[in-house]
Amino acid sequence: MRKLVLLSLATGICAVSSHAQTLFTYGGHSVTKEEFLKVYKKNSINKTPDMSDTALKSYLDLYALFRMKVAEANKEKLDTVESINHELDNYRKQLAKNYLTDEQVTNKLIHEAYDRMKVNVHVEHILISCPAGNDTTAAYKTIDSIYNAITTKGASFEEMAKEFSADKGSKDNGGDIGYFTALQTVYPFENAAFETPVGKISKPFRTQFGYHIVKVLDKRADRGEVKVAQIMLMTPKAKGEAGIEAARLRADSIEVMLKSGVPFDQLVTKYSEDQYTVKDGGVMKPFGAGKYQMPFENAAFALSKPGDVSAPVKTDYGYHIIKLIDKHPLAPYDTLYPQLKHKVEYDSRSQTAKEHFFNKIKEKNGFKEYPANITEITSKIAAMVLDTGKNAKMVKADDYRNMTKPVFVLAGKNYLQSDYAKFVEMLTHGKLNGQKTMVLHDSYNLYVNNVVNDFEEHKLVEENPEFKSLMEEYRDGIMLFELMDRNVWSKASHDSVGLAAFYEKHKSKYMWEPGFEGAVYKFKTKALLDSGMAMLKGNMTDEEMVKAINVPAHADGVSEQRGHFEFSHFKDATQAELMQNKMKVVPSSSAPYTLVVAKEVYATPTQKTLNEARGYAVAEYQDFLEKQWNEKMHHDYPFKLNDAVYKSMVKNKK
């Protein structure tokens, strides 16, 4: 939480022009009126910031102290601390993701997605699996032979899908996956479906799952979204045809009851077997094309008026009776834009915008590859990596340290074969699994992208004012957090001598109120309570009693809490009761049964030890250290306010 507060305070720090008005100075540093107002307005909780003297002065004092501490962090060179540099690197990489893309291409992809959402495509497909890193040759030959058999020899697409497709969800249906629209599949598959004419078959193409061909059966205008409720009667495969027939008869009888006037929601409660919707009257979340099986989807969209109910509909899951609640057409582009932008940026198509952006960076910065040198290093790694034995699959960058030819150049800097070998070892954790040629090919592309990405991340700080400002905000925030931890938070916990001296000076604040020292026992049963009391009265120690009760026959039969209890916070026993009798049973008609046992009763306040008061003492010692440190900052960085500039900001409320 403290870190978040410090980072929040850092928000808004920015560079300003040299002729801006100076609002205040601290030591040899200055802050302008414009800079202060930007920070103040950005952190205001109200749309219209409070410009009164009281509000401005309060924030000014806080902000000035913050700037003093940032100056101190810079003086101590905290930005050279390894952990801070590591955190800054991670933040820069996360932040840069929003900048390392081509905005024009992204907007084009968003428009493309929306235009495609106006259409539903009905396809069949055949998949030949080819996991990432594996040799693609065999998989491609298989899909290509299937494609040729269908397009040149007249083989049935559906029969070939049933025989060869690796998609278990569609192969039994001849590869039929029904209707879908944009943003419901991976981008290469979506492209093939939308770019192939109706009745035609696409050429083989690859996705992360393997090689595909698709046959486009139909394209229709999107029907929007529909919201329905359902009564579902399941047909488990284990019950066979008899189960299906029984479900059909029940569905028919429910249909009769609906027609006789029995309310739909009553029949949902009594008969529906859909555990996800039965508690909500059978109501399902709105859906469009491609969400459910075609018979269910078609029946839902066929209903015309809210309240209309379908005849029983059969799917692979059972029989459904569907009631229409509402229909909505596709929402306008402006309405869907934020949602579409988020999806496109996290969809596989985002790689298109990133690749376009990276290509522009390469072109701008004189990127050039040396194919012969790339082949030389990848071939040598592939040859040296053993398939068996003690060092099987091992990659050691040191084996290639003398290979110093460039694999590519970027912005005048050569990136060498040995550099690439280090990347391969880091990427694979020193073990080259999978088909070597493919892994090395992919790792080289990753290496190029990694270098280009890192190069542009650092350029962003120089070329993008917004990015630079955000990085400076974060840098100041984490440095200040480190400084506060060193001077206040951790110091209060670890400075045992200072803490002890602080405790001694203020020990009168740390007192126990009247109470008792002892234990509170919770028994599972009344019989165990009686047994426990008898054991204690028979001079058993607390530990012996607990051990005797918690035997395997009734494990956890008693729990205990030991310590110092103050009567003001303890209602199960009073001072008078425990003064008279060191043991009290708290009246109860059900478990747990409570027994209070006092070893010592204190009628007046007693002193807490440092260990007993540690939580409070550490917190107050932190406050003490922070106050001391703040005073030191004001001493080391003298504050001087420009009254005229300050007064020009003040607008007192009337």
Q: Is the pLDDT of residue 557 over 80?
A: yes
Tell me the β-bridge partners of 562: 519
Contact criterion met (CB below 8 Å) for 507 and 607: yes
- Ranking 120-129, 191-200, 491-500 by mean pLDDT, the lowest is 491-500
Beta strand ranges found along 114-224 (DSSP E): 119-129, 176-180, 205-207, 210-221
- Following CA atoms 281, 282, 288, 289 in sequence, which dihedral angle do they give, to the nearest 10 degrees? -170
- Residue 396 tokens read as 């050691």
Q: Does the global pTM surpass 0.75?
A: no
Fold designation for 1-99+473-505+609-654:
Triger factor/SurA peptide-binding fold (1.10.4030)
pLDDT at 349: 84
Element (H, E) at 24: strand 22-26
- pLDDT at residue 149 above 90? yes
Encoded amino acid at 155, one letter: A
- Helical ranges in 154-283 per DSSP H: 157-164, 187-195, 240-259, 264-271
User: Which sequence spans correspond to the domains of the chain?
Assistant: 1-99+473-505+609-654, 119-221, 225-328, 365-463, 511-607
Taking the alpha carbons of 635, 637, 643, 647 in that order, is the dihedral positive or negative? negative
- How high is the pLDDT of residue 111? 94
pLDDT at 2: 45
pLDDT at 645: 94
Q: Where are the beta strands (DSSP E) in 567-623?
A: 583-586, 593-602, 606-607
CATH code of the region 119-221? 3.10.50.40
Burial class (CB in 10 A: 0-12, 13-18, 19+), 47: exposed
CB 287 within 8 A of CB 225: yes
480-514 pLDDT, tens digit per residue, is 999 999 988 888 888 899 999 999 999 999 999 99
Residues 6+ apart with CB under 8 A from 340: 110, 113, 114, 183
Q: Is the pLDDT of residue 5 over 50?
A: no
pLDDT given for residue 653 in this prediction = 62
Whether residue 416 contacts residue 407, with contact meaning beta carbons closer than 8 Å, is answered with: yes
Counting residues of the chain whose pLDDT is more than 70, the rounded percentage is 96
Backbone angles phi, psi at 111, to 5 degrees: -60, -40
Arithmetic mean of pLDDT, 330-336: 94
The C-alpha atoms of residue 58 and residue 60 are separated, in whole angstroms, by 5
* Whether the Cβ atoms of residue 150 and residue 204 lie closer than 8 Å to each other: no
Are 285 and 300 within 8 A, CB to CB? no
Instruction: Give the span between the Cα atoms of 587 and 597, in whole angstroms.
Output: 15
pLDDT at 152 over 70: yes
CATH architecture for the domain at 225-328: Roll (3.10)
Mean pLDDT for 287-309 is: 93
For residues 229 and 309, is the Cβ–Cβ distance under 8 A? no
Give one DSSP letter per residue of 26-65, joined into a string.
Answer: ETTEEEEHHHHHHHHHHT-SSSS---SHHHHHHHHHHHHH
Taking residue 95's Cβ as centre, other Cβ atoms within 10 Å add up to 16
User: H or E stretch including 302?
Assistant: helix 294-302
DSSP per residue over 437-486, as a string?
HHHHHHHHHHHHHHHHHHHHHHHHHHH-HHHHHHHHHHHHHHHHHHHHII
Q: Is the pLDDT at 246 greater than 90, yes or no?
A: yes
Residue 344: both structure tokens together:
């496109």
CB 396 within 8 A of CB 386: no
Structure tokens at 45: 């909780």
Query: Is 219 in contact with 127 (CB distance < 8 Å)?
Result: no
Same fold, 1-99+473-505+609-654 and 225-328: no
pLDDT band at 8 (very low <50, low <70, confident <90, very high): very low
Give the model confidence (pLDDT) of 564-595 as tens digits.
Answer: 999 999 999 999 999 988 999 999 989 999 99
Amino acid identity for residue 592 in this structure? P
| Helix spans in 347-464 (H) | 350-364, 371-384, 417-428, 436-463
Adjacent-strand bridge partners of 319 = 233, 314
Q: Which residues are CB-contacts of 511 (< 8 A; sequence separation ≥ 6)? A: 605, 606, 607, 608
Mean pLDDT calculated for residue range 459-463: 82
| DSSP strand pairing (511-512 vs 406-410) | unpaired
Nearest Cα to 6, choosing from 67, 58, 60, 49?
Answer: 67
Are the C-beta atoms of 586 and 571 separated by less than 8 Å?
Answer: no
Half-sphere exposure of 53 (CA within 13 A, CB side): 4
Which two structure tokens, joined as six digits, stand for 89? 């690197």
d(CA 333, CA 591): 61
Residue 371 to residue 405: CA distance in whole angstroms: 11
Compute the distance between CA of residue 651 and CA of residue 631 in angstroms, rounded to an integer. 30
- CA dihedral 281→286→292→293, nearest 10 degrees, is 80
Identify the helix (H) or strand (E) that includes residue 499. Answer: helix 496-506
Question: Which residue reads 């110091």 in tokens?
Answer: 491
Look over the chain and give the mean of its residue pLDDT values, rounded to a whole number.
90
- Using the Cα atoms of residue 538, residue 542, residue 546 and residue 547 in order, give the sign of their dihedral: negative
Helix (H, G, I), strand (E, B) or coil at 595: strand
Give 61's pLDDT tier (boundaries 50, 70, 90): very high
Percent of the chain topping pLDDT 90: 69
240-259 and 264-271 helices cross at what angle (nearest 10)?
Answer: 150
Render pLDDT for 338-347 as a digit per residue (tens, 0 to 9).
999 989 888 8
Sheet holding 313-315, edge to edge: 225-234, 318-328, 313-315
| pLDDT for the residue 150 | 96
pLDDT digits (tens, 9 = 90+) for 345-387: 888 888 888 888 889 899 999 999 999 999 999 999 988 887 7
In the three-class reduction of DSSP (H, G, I as helix; E, B as strand; rest coil), residue 583 is classed as strand
Structure tokens at 543: 């530990």
* Burial (Cβ within 10 Å: 0-12, 13-18, ≥19) of residue 654: exposed
CA distance 10 to 43: 10
Residue 461's pLDDT band, with cuts at 50, 70 and 90, is: confident
Give the mean model confidence (pLDDT) for residues 96-118.
86
Q: With 0-12 CB in 10 A as exposed, 13-18 as middle and 19+ as buried, what is 240? A: exposed
pLDDT in the model for residue 133: 57
DSSP classification of residue 489 = I
Query: Residue 654: is its pLDDT beyond 60?
Result: no
Confirm if 12 and 37 have CB atoms less than 8 A apart: no
Q: What is the pLDDT of residue 509?
A: 93
R_g (Cα) of the chain, nearest Å:
37
Q: What is the DSSP letter of 332?
A: P
At 399-440, the pLDDT tens digits run 999 999 999 999 999 999 999 999 999 999 988 887 788 888
Residues forming a β-bridge with 25 = 30, 640
pLDDT value, residue 592? 93
Measured CA angle at 257 (ends 251, 261), to 5 deg: 140
Q: Could you give the CA distance from residue 55 to residue 453 in angstroms, rounded to a whole number?
A: 44
Mean of the pLDDT values across residues 387-404?
87
- In the predicted structure, residue 325 carries a pLDDT above the cut 50: yes
Query: Given this model, what pLDDT does residue 132 score?
Result: 64
